[in-house]
Amino acid sequence: MAGTIPRDDMTSFEAVTWFFDQAAERVRCDDEMRELLRRPWRELTVAVPIRLDNGKLKMFTGYRVQHNGARGPYKGGIRYHPRTGLDEVRALASLMTWKNALAGIPYGGAKGGVTCDPGELSTTELNRLTRRFTQNIAHIIGENRDIPAPDMGTNAQTMAWMMDAYGQMFGHTPAIVTGKPVELGGSYGRDAGPGRGLVYCLEEWARLTDYSLQGSRVLIQGFGQVGSWVARLIGSLGCTVVGVSDISGGLFNPRGLDIPKLMEHVGQSGTIAGFQGVEEVSGEEFLQLPCDILVPAAIEGVIHSRNADKIQASVVVEAANHPTTPVGDIILRDRGIALMPDILVNAGGVVVSYFEWAQNIQQFRWEEERVNKELEKIVKGATREVIKLSDREGISLREAAFYIGVERVSRAIELRGFV
């Protein structure tokens, strides 16, 4: 597959595997090792039947994919989304394998999800769904086996329900999930982790490449857990957020958005729509607005062959997982647009999850200052490694990030000697 020309209609797993294959070629993995690294080690699909509030039974489908466990227990989020399916979960699990290896934290890669629209379910229905899903995957997870976390459509409350459902089966086990509420053993700084990690990563990249962030105009696609934290924190680098979008469309103001006011508005209405004093644009137009830095922080595959040539940013910083298709990636590169890849940029989420897991096992809480300091050390260190390799080999930052991840996982497999 390496050397093949990517297509725009690749599935998410095919696309991530394409990025992997390019790296495996550079790392000079032999064919057997590539097969071991490419394929998920375990995939579980479960029926998740629950009673809705109206008394009717509804069947949902849930997934947990454990992609590679060579470097430690599997780790990765749980997504609730109408389009979630096995292929997407596989792709996201594979990304977790390379991300955890790149960050140097002792985990393999996994991901899970339930095909559902959480916006259409009541709190009690979501609680029941989460409990039943947890029971049905309980035999393959564990604090030393596989540790879920939040992702799109799930949050700290979801993790609290998961912990409780697992605890009812096996006894109180806070380290079974991360991203919990602080009151139940969550870590300070976990909520902000992916956004804060992005800011550290961008800061280090700008320092090493002499890119001036002062006055840079930022567009953020997605205003959820990740995007809203990026919006709150990126101003500390001297940047101005000129636009944000969510599923309802985009908002733009070339002079900058009032983020605290927007947070208040979203807190009340649940969406950015209806925020006053800004220009409203469609989701598709949004990505093509004038800016310096574009932060996709929503879903997969939003930068592709049909819009990559229209993006005006000089830097794309991937907060979401797999927002750029392989064809989109090539177009951006040919246009000289710098791209900071997902497995580096959003690693802050899983790094603070790792701190939470370590705190739960030690039964000892860290102050937020310590969490942020340790996060900065890991994220900036990984950013330096990626930039150094990219410069040395003349490859893109994505290629360098995958190279490091693939090399570390294949080395772990060799050292274990299990095949």
- Site residues, ligand NAD (CB under 6 A): 150-153, 194, 221-227, 245-247, 283, 297-299, 319-321, 346, 349
Cβ atoms of 228 and 198 closer than 8 Å: no
Residue 151 Cβ, how far from ligand NAD at the closest point, in Å?
Answer: 5
In the complex with ligand NAD, the residue whose CB is nearer, 24 or 272, is 272
Residue 225 Cβ, how far from ligand NAD at the closest point, in Å?
Answer: 4
Residue 196 Cβ, how far from ligand NAD at the closest point, in Å?
Answer: 11
Among 111, 373, 377, 380, which one carries the catalytic annotation?
111
Which SS3 state, helix, strand or coil, does residue 12 take? helix
In the complex with ligand NAD, the residue whose CB is nearer, 158 or 216, is 158
Cβ atoms of 309 and 220 closer than 8 Å: no
Residue 111 is among the residues annotated as catalytic for this protein: yes
Q: How would you list the strands of the sheet with 249-252, edge to edge?
A: 279-281, 249-252, 240-246, 217-221, 293-296, 315-317, 338-340
Residue 284 Cβ, how far from ligand NAD at the closest point, in Å?
Answer: 9
In the complex with ligand NAD, the residue whose CB is nearer, 185 or 194, is 194
In the complex with ligand NAD, the residue whose CB is nearer, 110 or 395, is 110
| Radius of gyration of the chain from its Cα atoms, rounded to whole angstroms | 20
Q: In 5-155, which ranges are continuous DSSP H helix?
A: 12-27, 31-38, 86-103, 123-137
In the complex with ligand NAD, the residue whose CB is nearer, 129 or 226, is 226
Q: How would you list the strands of the sheet with 146-150, edge to edge?
A: 42-51, 57-68, 108-115, 74-81, 146-150
> Which amino acid is residue 48, in one-letter code?
V
Cβ atoms of 266 and 244 closer than 8 Å: no
Residue 83 Cβ, how far from ligand NAD at the closest point, in Å?
Answer: 9
Active-site annotation, residues: 111
